[in-house]
Chains A and B, each alone.
Chain A
Amino acid sequence: MRWTDHKTVGLLYGVTALGFLLVGFLLMILMRWQLAWPGQPLPSWLAAGLGEANAPGGIMLPEFYNQLVAMHGTVMVFLAVVPLAAGAFANYFIPLQIGAPEMAFPRLNALSYWLYLIAGVIMVASFFVEGGAANSGWTSYAPLAVIATTGQNYWLIGIFLLGVSSALNALNVLVTIIQGRGPGVTWINLPFFVWSQLVTALLLLLAFPALQAAAIFQLMDRLAGTSFFLPSGLVIGGVPLQGISGGGSPLLWQHLFWFLGHPEVYVLILPAMGIVAEVITAHARRPLWGYGLMVAAVLFMGGMSMVVWAHHMFLTGMGTSLGTFFQLTTFIISIPSVILVSALVLTLWGGSITFGTPMLFALAFLPMFGIGGLTGLPLGLAASDVSLHDTYYIVAHFHYLVAPGTLFALFAGIYHFWPQITGRALNETLGKIHFWGSFVCMNLIFLPMFAIGLMGVNRRLWDAGASYAHAQPTLQWQTHMTYAAFALALFQLPFVVNVFTHARARRDPGSGIRDPQELSSGSRFPVPGSRTRPDTGTSAAKLGMWLFLASETMFFASLFSGYVMLRAGSVTWQDRFNGFPWLETLLLVGASAAFGPSRFRLIAANALGLTFIAIKIGTDALMLRNGVLPSDNLMLASWYTLTWVHAAHVLGGAIFTGWLAGPSFRMFEAERERWLARIDATRKYWLFVDVVWLAIVIGFFFI
């Protein structure tokens, strides 16, 4: 087994994501228990498991319930569903479907998986630190998250690492699809599954950096005492918050968060659409209806998903005109969803449909996604959002999209593709018990939530609303929903049994299932790594660097937009400090000028870059010692944050340049072409680092 093999990475992603899915599921069971019998002691074995700190006398504390709220959402979205949909399925099946022997950058691909695992372990392990895990919702709104317990730091670091991981994965997916397509695989016969993964990867690559930037700002607020998200005059528990400058904006967090948060929804949905398209065409024995239309719809959806984010923020005090814009874009983005779901139904027309387990899951996805999608409409209109915002209605809405929606599609994919992975099919009887049980229970859990939400009962309440008179009629329903959740847990057992009894790869003779090796080995051809591909006019190395820089641009643009928004909104913006950093600027520009395809030039660039870092560390140490602190005002907070993030990029460039001059230099003779492609890509990186630096210093010293 090679660790970098796309199938290995795909399987690792899949197994790990299923593990996290179980973690998220168990957190849900704990929440459901609490919601059914709020304030009553848990069973003693369960209370013992949670410990006295979280459940004194067996009664779950609100502090612990809030950790469950935050971590169930985080684990399910970031550690279970996305890695399964965009990690496991993408890595395993994209190369097979497009006839590529391997992902474009196998080592980066493996790195992506390990970063994901590390991030996940950090996040889940934070349950055991002082104060427990993050407890401010998966949305981590400031200032609540800024003043929260230590667990929030682990959450932020985890999110940052996940961002790096998904960028590496997305980069790989995009370059593999564009550069790795085998002979005869063109854009107009690319499987719809691959198109859906392509758009997903684009969204991850371009939207996730906004959340990473936000995570850095929040970490600075928590650890360095800055006030990016903290306005002036905060009084926490009757005590004024000391030692901070204030002046920041809590809404800045929401903008940055939802700039990722909304495209993330399509990251959850699009791969599911791709899988369902595969399963339905196979089991109805018909090609997709309206393939071109569907491809256009996902592309349009991907683009539009970047301009709908503030429909999560109608009630923050947004003006009417901005509200109108986001209501319009929200309605526009609903149209491609209607097209996709309609096209999938029309695909059935004229087919010869068999109802095996994968098909049942795929078919059930359609109405479940339909309910989830349609109930997004009243939430997307500010006038009706007022009644529904932050109630159980929205909980029902997004769970219909993701739980009986995307998860059903993923189960369809697991049952459907299992034979391709192991060489034999999963048991049908167990599969059908799993399907029908899950289908009924999911609806029993989520359908009542629409009514509870319409009645005005809010979500994220430790006691399910028992304190409120208007929620009294719904409390009994909560208990029934919890019983349904327990039943749902039981109905997952057939799946677990099925998977474990059919895990060992074997080929059933005469089963008609093709050897999985046969699928890929037939069309093996070398990935054109550094060589230019005639039909795309670029090489994998070049394209990879451009896409990486696009992601980096979004990252720095998000940091900058934070700086610009704070500066524009501040009445007391302190002027820049004296002393334009001429020396640093010269060193940096010198490093990129020196950079070139000879050992001497590489070493020179490396030395100049490291000198830049040394001077940056020296100046900042001096400034900090003289009491010029990031917590003094927002200008210094932005200056330190932006330049430190930039300096980390210079350090990365210097290290890579050192590697090119050192260990990688032997390629100069042996594999000149590949080595030159690396030099070429790294030069672009250095130029990018220069541009960022100039943007920062111009912004701080001249504008």
Chain B
Amino acid sequence: MIERWLPAAASSDAPLLDAVLMSVHVHMLLIFVGWLAVFVYALARFRKGANPEPRQPGVRGVWPALAIGAVIAGDVVILFALALPAWSGRNAPPPAGVNPVEVRVTAEQFAWNIHYPGPDGVFGRTDQTLVSASNPVGIDRSDPAARDDIGLLNILTLPVYRTVFVQLTSRDVIHSFTLNEMRIKQDANPGMTTRIWFTPTQTGNWEIACSQLCGLGHYRMRGEYHVVTPEEWEKWQADEVARLLP
């Protein structure tokens, strides 16, 4: 019922996180419907017309305790069997040697600056004073490691089935880096670098959103991300690097 509204589940974590979401909603629905049935029955059965004088002892017996016990049992199952394992599994570092893709994402009012290390896999030096329209990340090309670095604004291109590590930070206020289809939402705090990771499992073109109110342009702090096949990704990277060379 809920899955028809949810965005595509396009990362390796998405199915488990969605399972938590669905089961909590089933739990909620059962509680609500059960409670509502008692409520509506009580209103009909004990309306003044049907019951002109109140009866003294009201509800007796164990069933209220059993109902509340069932709710608690459901809570416990969801919490310990699903939600907590899902969250710690998602936060546990992925196994070493998965050949990850590294990206640095630096948020600012109202854009996402995206920095790839390039084919050498090493992030070159960046310098705030070098930031310009053609160099949004401020890559210092005099650093040998920075020669093949790619700096782009609002466009993130990722290969499918490879784990992506994102080093997330902000230059000014708190933003929230949101890739709905990856089930990624992480605050980008200034003065603090947060490392997150995920593995796309579907190719597609989607949107990067900012979820944390970050000022007057919050509504338009939109980026795009493209999950492509590994071959396409290699080609994309090669093209970007080729553009850097005069």
Contact = CB atoms under 8 A, between A and B. Distances in A.
Contacts of B90: 383
A662 interface: no
Interface stretch (B115-123, B140-148, B170-178, B234-242): B170-178
Contacts of A533: none
Interface in A90-144: 135-137, 141, 143-144
A350 B217 contact: no
Nearest to B85: A383
Contacts of A463: 219-220
Interface residues of B, number: 85
Contacts of B172: 143, 147, 234-237
Contacts of A238: 131
Contacts of B210: 458
Contacts, number: 256
Contacts of A346: 58-59, 64
Contact of A316 (B16, B31, B71, B189): B189
B54 A342 contact: no
A141 to B, nearest CB: 6
Interface string A451-466: 1001110101111010
A468 B209 contact: yes
A397 to B, nearest CB: 11
A666 interface: no
B194 A317 contact: yes
Given A63-B216, A324-B88, A331-B79, A143 B58 contact: no
A317 B189 contact: yes
Interface in A461-483: 461-463, 465, 467-470
Given A352-B48, A389-B185, A384 B24 contact: yes
A386 B21 CA distance: 10
B219 A62 contact: yes
Given A66-B213, A66-B216, A451-B5, A350 B55 contact: yes
Contact of A324 (B39, B84, B213): B84
Given A317-B189, A350-B54, A390-B176, A366 B39 contact: yes
Contact of A345 (B20, B42, B48): B42
B58 A352 contact: no
Most buried by B among A289, A348, A456, A468: A456
Scoring B36, B86, B209 by chain A CB atoms within 10 A of each residue's CB, the highest score goes to: B209
A426 B157 CA distance: 64
B178 A348 contact: no
Given A238-B131, A386-B184, A350 B87 contact: no
B206 to A, nearest CB: 8
Contacts of A231: 189-192
Interface of B: 2, 5-7, 16-18, 20-21, 24-25, 27-28, 31-32, 35-36, 38-39, 42-43, 46-48, 51-59, 64, 67-68, 71-72, 75, 78-79, 82-84, 86-88, 90-91, 108-109, 128, 131, 171-174, 176, 178, 180, 183-187, 189-192, 194, 206-207, 209-220, 222
Interface of A: 61-63, 66, 69, 135-137, 141, 143-144, 147, 231-238, 240, 246, 248-251, 284-286, 289-290, 315-317, 319-320, 323-324, 327-328, 331, 334-335, 338-339, 341-342, 345-355, 363, 366-367, 370-371, 374-375, 377-378, 381-384, 386-391, 451, 454-456, 458, 460-463, 465, 467-470
Those 5 A-B pairs whose CB atoms lie nearest each other, nearest first: A231-B191, A350-B55, A456-B180, A454-B5, A390-B211
